[in-house]
Amino acid sequence: MTQSEKLHPVLGIPFEKIPQHIAIIMDGNGRWAQAQGRPRLHGHAAGSTSVRRTIVDCADLDIKALTLYSFSTENWRRPKEEIDGLMQLYAKYLVEERPTIMSKNIRVRHVGLEDNLPDFVLKELHETIELSKNNTGMTFCLALNYSGRTELVTAFRKIAGRIVSGELTPDDINDQLISDNLDTAGLPDPDLLIRTSGEMRISNYLLWQIAYAEFYVTDIHWPEFDTKALHEAIIAFSQRNRRFGGLNK
């Protein structure tokens, strides 16, 4: 019996039906907190527990890559108090989770812009990335200060510069070249995109990479997204008929 024919001991589905790369839009922290009469920042703090649990769960399931949409370039429009609190949470999380990251053999990458991020966040982000750079397990991409459109513009500018310098010609531009110039270069495209809190939007997230991703939307707010919810999303993914533009077999 080959590995693809065996069932995963935890999920009960064939190994070949497990996504290689899961991307998650972590939505609903603020609404979860407000429903309890608590400030929005309380929801973000509670959401960090779901982040920790999801990263460990995915690593334990041997998922190749996990990308979490944490803070978009549009989120700078939020109240300063909320942003300041979020930045403190990011720095705290990056420090506190280093033992877990190392024990689980997780490699950390940043997806997004460093512009506007506070120095204390960049310091902890860089240190965590450097510490984990030789790890060989799951790659965890933190989408922090991220914009899908900006990522594409940056990639196109890099390619255009190489054309101007004579290194490339316009005929050299293809899907792979563009993928190689994105923040997620070297990783498989997400095959499962999960969005919590019931919203039916992409929200400028991994616009190039999710071309053929399967979408899974749950009404669960992010602070309540637990191991059971993750497993349900992966099992639902395993039941999809992925045709990639072709016909049913």
76-110, pLDDT tens digit by residue? 999 999 999 999 999 999 999 999 999 999 999 99
241 labelled catalytic: no
Cα distances from 110 to residues 5, 125, 136, 143, in angstroms, run: 35, 8, 16, 6
pLDDT above 80 for 129: yes
- pTM of whole model > 0.95? no
Report pLDDT for 38: 95
Instruction: Report how far residue 57's alpha carbon sits from residue 61's, in angstroms, rounded to the nearest whole number.
Output: 6
- Whether the CB-CB separation of 64 and 139 falls below 8 Å is answered with yes
Instruction: From 71, 240, 246, 218, select the one nearest 143 (Cα to Cα).
Output: 71
Q: What tokens does 38 get?
A: 């608590």
Q: Phi/psi of residue 206, each to 5°?
A: 45, 50
Instruction: Report how far residue 219's alpha carbon sits from residue 237's, in angstroms, rounded to the nearest whole number.
Output: 17
pLDDT above 90 for 6: no
What's 20-147+189-237's CATH class? alpha beta
Cα dihedral sign, 37-42-47-49? negative
Give mean pLDDT, residues 58-67: 97
Find the catalytic residue in 62, 75, 105, 191: 75
Angle 16-18-21 from CA coordinates, rounded to 5°: 120
75 labelled catalytic: yes
Give mean pLDDT, residues 221-237: 97
pLDDT above 60 for 3: no
Report pLDDT for 127: 98
Give mean pLDDT, residues 140-161: 98
Report pLDDT for 243: 66
